[in-house]
A = this chain, B = another copy of it.
């Protein structure tokens, strides 16, 4: 009862070569365990010499269209990344009635609705487990384990680069040194903008939220990265029993979806607190299921390639075509989103400062759950407040008023505190 699946692989970079390696090493094991025989029929890369280095004995071409014309091939594995030509390759593969496996979150975040719709029309499947959360089986958990449930919210640490940097900063490194360390170890790109500004995490959460809520969003999530975080706030967080993580959050409430990526403080009691280094993690909460927490390596050659191979096996095992449906969904304005807040301000060491700030909180109806002013000798005294729940709108108004006070010398820093279990 062996089922065969014939693969055309596009892109022999890090992940692509990992896939080739796994198929070369573990094909017999896969066949024995699953009854699926994976044949790597042809590979495609601009640099055809890569195939030679990998000892791929199969057809190697530099034009992906040749793979589409090959009638034997029933699945195209796209591993080149980025928007184009990835989008065109995927769309052409679908039109050629070939299933698609991809690890490309960028193309799916930008063109996913179009790609999924075309796949459904052409009765092929697009699998993309490797595109979010590395080796964490998050897509299949949403699409399969929760298919009879309603997901209320998703929290995620979805970017390994920033989590690595924050872990180092939590140990005392400055942002700059931590970033350099991440670059040296290959956890950060030479131009780290996409990661450190939260855009990578935003694309991933956009995709997860679309699937979890059957939602079609017309706009992008609010995204704030980690570049403005200071050691001072990391230290305060630690002292208060929190750790700062770049959290991606999606919550569905009253028809609206809260969708945002922000550095957030997570309490010691949360499993996210212990998610360090390049590890990713996701918490899903469903109406029936309650909470599921998943974590694992967010990137890396073999972890990611293993997931790609799992998707290929899955394609060989299933008959049904995914029936994704997406309904227009509105993203909640950031100003209406609610959480607790950390609020730090540097005041001139003279009478009246604290009273002036407290008055502003009262005006904006923000309730304070804690306040700390250390005995520090110096002209500027840092004061830290922890608020009860308030909207980002209330907080922004308070920040604006505070920064205008004459006694404020170090401008206000606010960081959201997420009440996670």
- Which residues of chain A have a CB within 8 Å of any CB of chain B? 1, 3, 22, 26, 29-30, 32-36, 123, 135-137, 140-141, 144-150, 214, 269-271, 273-275, 286, 288-297, 300, 302-303, 305-307, 309-310, 313-314, 316-325
Contacts and interface: CB of A to CB of B under 8 A. Distances in A.
B306 A289 contact: yes
A139 to B, nearest CB: 11
B33 A320 contact: no
Given A1-B321, A34-B320, A35-B321, 7 more contacts: A1-B323, A33-B324, A135-B145, A147-B310, A147-B313, A269-B274, A316-B320
Contact of A274 (B148, B274, B321): B274
Given A137-B141, A147-B33, A317 B316 contact: no
Contact of A320 (B3, B271, B295): B3
B303 A290 contact: yes
Q: How many copies does the complex hold?
A: 2
A119 to B, nearest CB: 12
B34 A290 contact: no
A148 B320 contact: no
Contacts of A36: 320
Contacts of A314: 144
Given A145-B310, A320-B3, A320-B34, A289 B302 contact: yes
A140 B310 CA distance: 11
A346 to B, nearest CB: 33
Contacts of A269: 274
6 nearest interchain CB pairs?
A292-B296, A35-B323, A288-B302, A148-B309, A317-B320, A288-B306
B293 A148 contact: no
Contacts of A32: 323, 325
B292 A294 contact: yes
A292 to B, nearest CB: 4
A255 to B, nearest CB: 16
Nearest to A309: B148
A323 B141 CA distance: 23
Nearest to A123: B1
Contact of A325 (B33, B140, B307, B313): B33
A30 B293 contact: no
Give the most central of A145, A148, A293, A309: most B CB within 10 Å: A148
Nearest to A305: B288
Contact of A289 (B296, B313, B323): B296
Nearest to A270: B274
Contact of A323 (B33, B291, B325): B33
Contact of A145 (B137, B147, B297, B316): B137
Contacts of A3: 319-320
A335 B316 CA distance: 44
A135 B296 contact: no
A289 B300 CA distance: 9
B321 A319 contact: no
Nearest to A36: B320
A297 B302 contact: no
Contacts of A305: 288
28 contacts: A1-B321, A1-B323, A26-B148, A30-B147, A30-B148, A32-B323, A33-B214, A33-B324, A34-B323, A35-B321, A36-B320, A135-B292, A144-B310, A145-B307, A148-B309, A271-B275, A273-B274, A286-B306, A288-B303, A289-B306, A290-B296, A290-B303, A291-B296, A292-B296, A293-B295, A293-B296, A316-B320, A317-B318
